[in-house]
Structure 1
Amino acid sequence: MGFALRAAIGGFLLMISGTAPLCWALQNQPGNSTIRTTTHLVQFGMIVRDRNGAVRNLTKDDFVVKDRGKIQPINVFSVDVSGTTAQSAQPLPPNTYSDIAGYGTEKPRSVTIVLLDNLNALFGAAPEPYERTPRWLEEHALTNAKQHLMEFLRTMDPSDRIAIYGLTDRLRVLCDFTCNRDQLLAVVGKYDASAMTARGAVEPGSVHVPEMLDPDSAHLGAPIAEAGQELAGFKNQDRAQLTMEAIAAITEHVADIPGRKNLLWLTSNLPFSGEAIARVLARGNVVAYPLDARGLLPRSPVVTMEDANEDDYAMGRVGGLMGADSGPTGIGTMQEMAADTGGHAFVNTNDLTSAIRSAIEDSAVTYTLGFYLPESDVDGKFHKIAVQVKQAGLSVTAPRGYFADKDTDATESETRSAFIAAIRSPLDAAALPLVVRMERQDKAAQNSVEIVGSVGLKSVQVHQEGSFRKGTLDIYTIEQDATGKVLHQGNERLNLKLTEQQYISYLQSGILFHQVLQPQQDTKVLRVLVQDHGSARVGSVIIPFAHVK
């Protein structure tokens, strides 16, 4: 059966029974102080310290904000102190689900996501025959970092709210946000922290075929190395895409949680742009704290050509070290993403426990500042910002800048990519506020399910055309089996054409939609997903079918 979709106009709110909780949730969702750049408003969070730690008694007048050297008036100001501003969850009615922070499952005002990154940890330190010795040994990096994480969890503060995810061939939810120490220790303790990417496949060393072993093959070293580098490029592209999809899914999941979110990323080898990662994280006010799980890396022993024998050549122990970089791959990426988002990169340290504790405790006091950007300055470029505190002896940690993205329609490719990422994600997406009520019923058809949903209009991109505001929403229901295979997909496009009075009204009530469907026999999970066709933003809820009454 198809959708019966209508904008919430006229008497529609009265036509569907029980819609009040949906509208109430949208009207009363927690205040959203998410750091994001819109057409007019730029918001960002930062931390201020003195020699004794976080400073919590500053006012708006204590700050000076510059955008590309120009002083900006501070239009938005707030200070969030852990333990005093967290909002308790407000329960939703039975059979009602939402991606809005503060409803259903408790989601605190300040959160930390720990990502255990198997995908970007390398195994295979031993060189292949005739391959020069790798410079850095990192075989058990993530396993080592896991032990330090458990050491921190044993002494974590009961007020900490932490989620643990794993990244292998896909993003895995090990434990969503909780303060339960025993639960966190149990899931981390059982997690297999083995590296899953072969070093020789993604970071091959140079090849040297010595003449003393095979004079006729010595010239083949260069083309063999070149072919290896080309294949490594494809492998690195694949894992870069998987990594970016995972980061985007995490960002979308926490996008509607107010305030600063910390991403503690236990990783090692990141052969891609830190700026690109930071740009994704900025959409949800997620601050990067990458931790190099390799710690202080020892250089591999090498043998000079003068002292080499045939076994040294055969085992790759001879001469120049692999690669031209002065440090391990990934450190520059970590430092760049941390600087861009206002976090900190922990590299070249073996005190990983203290690094983890520092990252999680870093947002004890967070200041949020914002200013309105003139339309003429929305140029799609990176804007460098500088924040100064008038009081002496204080240090500021803030994002290095932001992208003044224009409010333009997403391309078809961007829209499709965002949709696919949301389907693959094990997490709700929260870029569009969404509330869904789902109930079993046999009125329209036997063993059917009625779905009534409401989408927050304030997050939908609309354009002024004459006296109307226009936008487009794509609404999907996806049925999946226990393995995640899609059994059925229903979708409909909702074209919005609202007068100014209607637009103001629906900012409060949301846009309602309605569907009756007959799930497939093997359906275990129902996803309701709404995508803004203009911006490609997604809101989604993942509903275990067994929970639907």
Structure 2
Amino acid sequence: NVMISALDARGLYTSNLDIGQRSYDANATRIKEQYLRESDLAQQDVLAEIAEGTGGTFFRNNNDLKEGFRRVAAAPEYLYILGFSPQNLKFDGTFHKLKVVVKDPAGLAVQARRGYYAPRHFSNAEETAKAEIADAVFSREEMHGLPVELHTQFFKSGEVDAKVTVLARVDLKHMPFRKADGRNLDDLTVVSALFDRDGHYITGIRKVIEMRLRDETLAKLSSGITVKTSFDTKPGSYFVRLVVRDAEGQLMSAENSAVEIP
């Protein structure tokens, strides 16, 4: 029975593109800025979901922090704890809406939990990993659980044919290997996905790197490994989404990049 209110201290929204970032042409820059804006809004959505999902208040996109603190600190005039037992509850991974209304509001405003989330239950770790990776591929949020760098390249093989190459650089020095039989064990799942300029999924490629490394081999690879993935495509504006997950630590990283092929 916890009600959480939140405040976004960043104030009014401004673009986070700056002069220190790699430059693209006008089209790619505009698309990248839109993507970053949606990513920022997605981060706000976490605070909004926590606040509104528990019946609290979320103060955002406003520089008047004094007023913001006043609102989030204000306690409801009346507080009721209502119990609810859903019928035919299914753990299907979806959000189930609830609505609380007052029969005779008389000018009162109601703050209440908007519903509940029924997470899916998976029978094994492999299904869990697949679900987490799929969710991350179609998310806007960048994740930094693993030391990963994303680089993209492209070249045109003709007027209407092109190829996009995705390079995932993974630093092995900080990987959570499991030691067994004199070897360092871990599996890396690397998923590269291509989206069009409107954010629609085009295609994706999944690769699994099984690492069974002796200490001397791991030392030689301490600078990292690079996983290469290529897509055949057409000239145009694209977004690349890279997701990397390891099996032992169950850590995950996700990166975004924009590609403009003239």
Structure 1 length-normalised TM: 0.29
Contact 2:205/2:229 (8 A) holds in 1: no
Query: What secondary structure sits across from 1:415 in the alignment?
Result: helix
Aligned with 2:64 (options 145, 148, 151) = 151
Per the alignment, residue 230 of structure 1 pairs with 86
Distance 1:522 1:437, change over 3 A: closer
Of 163, 166, 182, the match for 1:451: 166
1:133-177 C-alpha deviation (Å, 9 max, x unpaired): xxx9x8xx44xx348x531299xxxxxxxxxxxxxxxxxxxxxxx
Aligned-residue offset at 1:478: 0.5
Change (3 A) 1:474 1:146: closer
Q: Does the 8 Å CA contact 1:418/1:536 hold for their aligned counterparts?
A: no
1:501 and 2:224 aligned: no
Give the drift of 1:416: 2.0
Among residues 230, 237, 261, which one is paired with 1:516 in the alignment? Answer: 230
* Secondary structure in structure 2 of the residue aligned to 1:518: strand
Over aligned residues, Cα RMSD in angstroms? Answer: 4.8
The answer for the alignment partner of 2:183 in structure 1 is: 468
Deviation of the 1:500 alpha carbon? 0.8
Match of residue 415 from structure 1: 129
C-alpha deviation, 1:450, in angstroms: 2.6
- Could you tell me whether the CA contact under 8 Å between 1:529 and 1:541 is conserved in 2? yes
CA distance in 1, matches of 2:199, 2:66: 31
Are the aligned partners of 2:162 and 2:235 in contact in 1 as well (CA < 8 Å)? no
Cα distance in 2 for residues equivalent to 1:490 and 1:544: 17
Q: CA deviation at 1:431?
A: 0.7
Q: Pick closer, same or farther for the CA change 1:443–1:531 going to 2, 3 Å.
A: farther
- Aligned equivalent of 2:4: none
Contact 2:162/2:234 (<8 A) preserved: no
Does residue 525 (structure 1) correspond to residue 239 (structure 2)? The answer is yes
Q: Take 1:517 and 1:153, find their aligned partners in 2: how far apart are those partners?
A: 51
Q: Do 1:488 and 1:520's aligned partners in 2 also have CA atoms closer than 8 Å?
A: no
Change (3 A) 1:329 1:459: farther
Give the corresponding residue for 2:117. none
**Pairing of 1:218-367 with structure 2 (within 5 A):** 229-230=85-86, 238-239=94-95
Query: Separation in 2 of the partners of 1:316 and 1:446?
Result: 63
Q: Deviations over 1:343-370 (max 9, x none)?
A: xxxxxxxxxxxxxxxxxxxxxxxxxxxx
Q: 1:204 to 1:538 in 2, by over 3 A?
A: same
> 2:233 aligns to what SS in structure 1?
coil
Residue of structure 1 equivalent to 2:48: 117
Shift of 1:510: 0.8
**Could you tell me which residue of structure 1 aligns to residue 152 of structure 2?**
438
Q: Structure with the greater relative contact order (CA < 8 A, sep ≥ 6): 1 or 2?
A: 1
Shift of 1:516: 2.7
Query: d(CA) in 2 for partners of 1:520 and 1:232?
Result: 49
2:66 and 2:155 map into 1 onto residues whose CA distance is 45
Q: Shift of the alpha carbon at 1:467?
A: 3.1
Structure having the higher Rg:
1
Distance of 1:480 and 1:439 partners within structure 2: 15
- State the identity as a percent: 11
Aligned with 1:429 (options 143, 149, 160):
143
1:429-454: CA deviation from partner (whole Å, max 9, x where unpaired): 11111112211124699411233331
Counterpart contact for 2:147–2:174, Cα < 8 Å: yes
Q: 1:530 to 1:121 in 2, by over 3 A?
A: closer
Give the match's secondary structure for 1:525: strand
State how many pairs are aligned.
196
Question: Which ranges in structure 1 are unaligned for 5 or more consecutive residues?
Answer: 1-88, 96-104, 106-112, 123-135, 155-202, 207-225, 241-268, 270-299, 303-313, 318-327, 331-409
Q: CA deviation at 1:496?
A: 1.6
Match of 1:405 in 2: none
Contact 2:192 2:229 in 1 (8 A): no
C-alpha distance 118-469 of structure 1, shift in aligned 2 (>3 A): closer
Question: Superposed, which structure 2 residues align to 1:4-403 within 5 Å?
Answer: 115-117=46-48, 121=52, 141-142=57-58, 145-146=59-60, 149-152=62-65, 229-230=85-86, 238-239=94-95
Question: What's the offset of the Cα at 1:490?
Answer: 0.9
Deviation at 1:501, TM superposition (A): 1.6
C-alpha displacement of 1:231: 5.6
Q: Distance in 2 between matches of 1:153 and 1:438?
A: 44
Cα distance in structure 2, aligned partners of 1:522 and 1:540: 23
Where structure 2 has 5 or more consecutive residues not aligned to the other structure, the ranges are 1-17, 25-35, 37-42, 68-79, 114-123
User: Shift of the alpha carbon at 1:419?
Assistant: 0.7
